[in-house]
Amino acid sequence: MARTFDELVAMQRAADQAHTRVEELRDRYGPPAHTPWTQLQTETYETAWRAWRDLARDVQSAVTEYAKEQGTSRNEAEEDVKKAVRHAEPEGEG
């Protein structure tokens, strides 16, 4: 499915937000090897991790397809998307 650059930026933003959520949970729960997690904590973390993994995979596939359609390198397309995400963030974030 062909995607626009703005769609790629939105996808990357969603993946970044999901990654932030995973990091927040890790920070809140502590390392599972040192602080055993409850079943609810484990399920919450695993759900967040899967969401991040799936979003990251989807954006990577979409960027690859977009680069191919645009006749540019995949790395250049990914860099442009990430710059656009960072540029759109309010100061103090990212």
- Domain residues of the chain, as ranges? 5-88
Per-residue model confidence as pLDDT tens digits over 71-80 = 999 999 999 9
Residue 87's pLDDT is 87
Residue 94 scores a pLDDT above 80: no
Q: Are 58 and 11 contacting, i.e. CB atoms less than 8 angstroms apart?
A: yes
Segment 12-58, tens digit of pLDDT: 999 999 999 999 999 999 987 788 899 999 999 999 999 999 999 99
